[in-house]
Structure 1
């Protein structure tokens, strides 16, 4: 999508789907970690909607990969398991995705960094509720 305004309706649809997953599929009593992961995705999506409405195009690719990376880090801490190779791969993918978005001229540096933080910070904040 070329402009930020074109992202509003797909992001709203994504938010509705995530909300339905949280409401009807996941429950905090059964899948606590996954529930809060999807809640973080919902928060990130809502922030992206607000930014798209004010005509700022944050990188949704960076949002997704950074949120997933933070979730893997939290899972590693929570279960005391060594998934360092997976976490290293996630950081490599963050770099590859950022490079590809710059190469394709789909985003600038600021949009990539904002997308990175929009994905990372909600997951980091929600760790306090399940870790």
Structure 2
């Protein structure tokens, strides 16, 4: 069971969720976007939101700034969260204006807000579940898209809700978080997306 819980934690890691959100957008939007543009955007975001943070984490690990990729303490979380906040900010100010897509722009503004909230929590030694923050942020974005385009996304939404439950169960089973930290993570993922959704819905 521990292996399954660990597998779920890695498979649905928070780093992949921004790319998942963008992929969902391009999959369900009725608006036309050239394939080359979608490919460039997804490739750029994969590099910036997955591979760059992983490389930075390796450097932090080598210099003993973090003890493991699990980021078991609030103190260990601060450097990666700060770096990730800067990366998301760079994406918002440099990449998003070129794409000129309000839905994605404010999706990333919401992600930035969630990152910043997690960073503030870490400063107060509160370990909000970043796994839950990420999956709930994407789920909220999907709900917004369904209203925006008047689409029936019941199957996709059910899948994300089920995944959210699996992630929460896995994190609790591994004792990576307690229930309070799971709930705080859900709230931090939900609220920034709800606050920014009004600007494009």
Scaled to the shorter chain, the TM-score interval is over 0.9
* Aligned positions of 1:32-111 closer than 5 A: 32-111=102-181
- Alignment of 1:124 with 2:190, yes or no, is no
Q: CA deviation at 1:2?
A: 1.3
Q: Which runs of 4+ in 1 moved over 3 A?
A: none
Equivalent residue for 2:88, pick from 18, 22, 26: 18
2:184 paired residue number: 114
Change (3 A) 1:28 1:112: farther
Q: How many residues align?
A: 131
Structure 2 residue runs of 5 or longer lacking an equivalent are 1-70
After TM superposition, the score normalised by the length of structure 2 is 0.64
Which structure has more RCO (C-alpha within 8 Å, separation ≥ 6)?
A: 1
Which runs of no fewer than 5 residues in structure 1 stay unpaired? none
Alpha-carbon distance in structure 2 between the residues aligned to 1:100 and 1:106: 9
Normalised to the residue count of structure 1, the TM-score between the two structures is: 0.97
User: How far apart, in 2, do the equivalents of 1:116 and 1:28 lie?
Assistant: 31
1:125 Cα offset (Å): 1.2
Between the aligned partners of 1:124 and 1:87, the Cα distance in structure 2 is: 16
Judged with a 3 Å threshold, the aligned counterparts in structure 2 of structure 1 residues 28 and 128 are, in CA distance, closer, same or farther, namely: farther
Residues 31 and 123 (structure 1), Cα distance of their counterparts in 2 relative to 1, 3 Å cut: same
Q: CA RMSD in A?
A: 1.1
TM-superposed deviation, 1:29: 7.9
Residues 86-106 of structure 1, C-alpha deviations (whole Å, 9 max, x = no match): 111111011000000000000
Helix, strand or coil at the partner of 1:130:
coil
